[in-house]
Structure 1
Amino acid sequence: MSNGRANALVERIIAINWHAAEDSFEHGTSRAWLMREYLRRAALWVQELQKEEHRPFFDVAQSDRWPFFDIAQRVDPLVRADEEAASRLDEFLSEHASSLLVGRVCRAALNWQSLSEESLAKFPDLPDPFEPLILLFERGGGFWIENGFIDFVASRVRLATWDEHVAAEPLTLLDVGTLDALDEE
C-alpha cells in the first residue's frame, strides 16, 4: 500500500545525516552519478507524460520546474501524501534539510511514494525517478545549483534541458557496492 511506502521513505529521510560534510567529499563521484541517473529518469518521465498532454511539458511559464518537480502530480493530479507522514517529513525538514530545494525534492518524493499501484501501472516500463536522489542524500546530504551546474562540493553535474538527458548512460545498479566502486575510480 502507498501509505507503507510513504512512511518508509519518511523514515529513510529522517535517518539521513544532513550535515555529514565528509561524506560529500568521500562519495562525490557516486553522488554525481546518482544525480545524472535522476536527471535521466526524470527526463524519461517528462518524455512519456508529454505524449499524454499533447503540448510542451515545460513552457515559458513553467521553465523553473525542471529538473526538480512533482512528477506524481503529473501522473495523478489527485495524489496526496498521508497527512501524518507529510507532517513528520515537514517537521523534520524544517530543522534539518540543507535548503528549500532539498525540502521540495523530498516532498515530491513523498508524493511519488503515495501514488497508487493503479496509477503506476499505466507506466510499467518507467523507473522510480526519486530513488537515485534519496540514495544521493543518504551518501552525503544535499546539493545546490550554481551557474548552470548541480554542485556537490567535490563534483558537479551540468544542468541541461530535459531532452538532453533522455539518452544519457543509465546507472543500472544502485547498490552500495556499485556506488562505492564509482567513488574509488
Structure 2
Amino acid sequence: MTIRLALDAIRKQLLGAKLSNEDCNLLITHFSSALLPGWFINMLSDYPLIGVNLTLSEALDESSFGVDMVWLSPKQMVEEALETYPGIIAIQLGYLPIGSCLFGSGDPYFLKMTVDNDNPPFVRIPHDILDENDKIDDSKIEPVCFSLSSFFELSQVIPNRIGQTTRSDSSSR
C-alpha cells in the first residue's frame, strides 16, 4: 500500500494542520533535499497531519512497545533535529524527526530518509541511545513499522485528550 492510499483511508479522522507555505520554507531552509524529499512535503501539504495523535498497539509495533505519539510541527521538527539529542546525531545519519512520544518518555520518532524509496521505515530513537562518544548505537534504534504506509494503515488516530497539549501549533514548545 502507498502512503497516499493509507492516508486517504483515514483522511476524515485527521484533524491536524496542513503544511503552510511559511512552514514549508522553514523545512526547506533547515533540511537537505535528501532528508526532505518532494513526496514528504506534498504529504504534509495535502493531509492535515501536524498535531495529530496516533497510537499503535504493542502487538502491531515491531519493537513491541506500542506507540502513542503526536506528529510534530515543522518548528518542532527543526528543534528536534538541530537543538536536542538524539536528533542532532540522528539527522546526520539520515533520520528525519516527525513525532514525539506521549507515553511520558518523550522519545522522538523518525523516518529513515536515506532509504532510496518513497515509503521509508518508521523508527523510535530513545533519548538514552547515545554512547560515551555521542554516537548512536544502531542496535538500540527501535523499528516500529517497516514503512510509513504500514504505520498509517495499522495505527489509529486518537482524538486530542482533554487537558493534553498536542503541540500542534508552531509556538507551543
TM-score, scaled relative to structure 2: 0.31
Which protein is bigger by CA-based radius of gyration?
1
> Using CA pairs below 8 Å that are at least 6 residues apart, which structure has the higher relative contact order?
1
Going by fraction, where is strand more abundant, 1 or 2?
2
TM-score, scaled relative to structure 1: 0.30
